[in-house]
Structure 1
């Protein structure tokens, strides 16, 4: 499989001698060499963004002020870490603060000659950034997890819930489930989960017995679970909710006396207390492998002094794929967008991923099961894409 492999240099711990081999990160952005995290200031100007003859210009558009600044800081730090860990010499990454205006950040990014945009973080900013970037033929790799914004010059790097639901439904079907029900929250996430559930069940030839929606609170989800339990006739139930509320719904289902395969979503990943939740014993959910994440998190904390937000791994992986493609990208030329759709895909912190025609990152997911106070892997993630 083509892609980037993880060598000993990747995730090197802080304090090790790692030379950046001339890879410049523009001053006054957060993608500076590791040190006490600098406070964000104004973006680059002609005075601080020198001419490049050997480096590709890449823009990072993330919030560096306001309420989402800590998340943006993690993404910025993670891109720096990827540059340092790989000893890159041909990328210049400049950070632009979207909190002060995503449109202005995008305009400055393309005016400064950046040929690729990593970001923005939130879906509400994707459209305006993409429109401005399109005028200069600059592709956008967003950290959003909304598949609806993909297409054209926009590629979605985030983990989309639809893939987790599909993987779990296929696993449940392969293990004897045929009749499905679902408890779905109101709102955008619920709409996406419901569409993915219905498509996935149809895809395996299963039957949908019942679907109930609810508002995201204790009383509403319990009522929805009671209605589903009264409907009966199903052997697998999707609860498209985080583990706390899902446990309340599962408790209502357990009382009906018929064995039911509870299916969770990617929202359960990384929840430390989930294994001790009795009503979720036997439940399954799908997520990317955590095999490399802890190494990444430990290295990040050693370098920057605090734990990263989990989304930081997307910033790291975005740099890895850019470096992989840079071998076929001439400095000063447009980014070779077609290279993002390599059949073999890429390898990152979360394992294999690739962009299909839709522009959404397809990821290799594993299925996990909660059993006897532990979370175990019952179906490992593929190590490569076979088709």
Structure 2
């Protein structure tokens, strides 16, 4: 029996709902093994896919189609494992996510992929916790992970760890954190400061700002003063391309903070949209991204199969099925237990290697890119394997 049976999940904090992203065939119901998601020799692995299809939120149906298509592509790629994939629509609603999860287990599901957003994922995992069935959700919100809920979404902590480790190794070890005061910026700040402490680098201070034109403008002199006082040699920014990042790329060099004396580092991807790479202030800056070779291969295969490029979140569904397939191939009855899911060697996914931790979070093999001549150039490739015992 899984340890999750002793876990009582806390109500989900509403303040974190915005962070849920940051990513059928009708069958006769069958009896479900009381031991949870245990596999039976020779029988297909029953996987439930919970999608926000039917949601009133703009774009959710497009995301749902992309996730389902990616999952089916992964099923087709599996060798030596048969997967019975069943899709359940939640309409993006928490009560329907709970109902869908319970129905999936009643239908014989041995593992659940999805839902998309954090609140729905938390509700679904809570609803089936007593059954021992694990949930691999598409969310990246670490406030909900743990117990029988594992995250597939790329987390702030994973990105912060990768970039901070590289900065420390490269001598950019006095890091000033610049973040907005909204919840996303606060969580980004927490991830970076934890990564700094973990890596042995030095936290050179933090500067928060109100997410407004006045707030960004006012923070520039604060950043300059903090960088000078702490002798910071790196500025780690949480902002995205559609927020304050372009302003700081322009204004920080104007007050004397620029490459290569002060290394700019981004928690978000600076190649999306590609126009961000053209900003003069970001030339020489670093950011992390999935293994480009693997990502290109997945994008090409998806486009060839479905006639259009995948949604950025589609790879998460592929990874979920790939992980289930790799685990089931071991032939072990408890292949979908928490202990098996968190095996150290991890899995090969659409965007490279990834693995789950016991707390429900994950690690993804990321590459380090530098902005050079308005292009993203890989200066430290993504790892191709993790150390650790696995299948």
After TM superposition, the score normalised by the length of structure 1 is 0.82
- 2:155 pairs with 157, 160, 165, which one? 160
Unaligned runs of 5+ in 2: 1-23, 33-39
Where do 1:1-387 residues align within 5 Å?
A: 26-27=24-25, 44=26, 46=28, 54-66=43-55, 67=57, 68-86=60-78, 90-99=82-91, 101-233=96-228, 234-244=232-242, 245-258=244-257, 259-329=261-331, 335-387=336-388
SS in 1 for 2:293: coil
Distance in 2 (alpha carbons) for counterparts of 1:147 and 1:240: 17
Distance 1:341 1:330, change over 3 A: closer
Please list every run of 5 or more consecutive structure 1 residues that lacks an aligned counterpart in the other structure. 1-25, 28-43
1:225–1:250: 8 Å Cα contact kept in structure 2?
no
Alpha-carbon contact 1:183-1:225 (below 8 Å) kept: no
CA distance in 2, matches of 1:126, 1:319: 17
- Helix, strand or coil for the counterpart of 1:131? helix
- C-alpha distance in structure 2 between counterparts of 1:320 and 1:334, whole Å: 13
In structure 2, the partner of 1:11 is none
Listed one character per residue, the Cα deviations across residues 89-129 of structure 1 (whole Å, up to 9, x for unaligned) are: 62111011121521111121111111100111100112211
Following TM superposition, the consecutive aligned residue runs of length 4 or more in structure 1 with deviations greater than 6 angstroms are: 49-53
* Structure 1 residue 223: Cα displacement: 2.3
* CA positional deviation for 1:218: 3.7
Distance in 1, matches of 2:375 and 2:210, equals: 30
CA distance in 1, matches of 2:256, 2:209: 23
**Structure 2 length as normaliser, TM-score?**
0.81
- Residues 131-165 of structure 1: CA deviation (Å, up to 9, x unaligned): 11112110001111112211111111110011112
Aligned residue pairs total 344
The 3 A distance-change label for structure 1 pair 299 and 50 is farther
Q: What is residue 18 of structure 1 aligned with on the other side?
A: none
Distance 1:254 1:311 in 2: 34
Contact 2:50 2:90 in 1 (8 A): yes
Contact (CA 8 Å) 1:210, 1:228: kept in 2 or not? no
* Match of residue 20 from structure 1: none
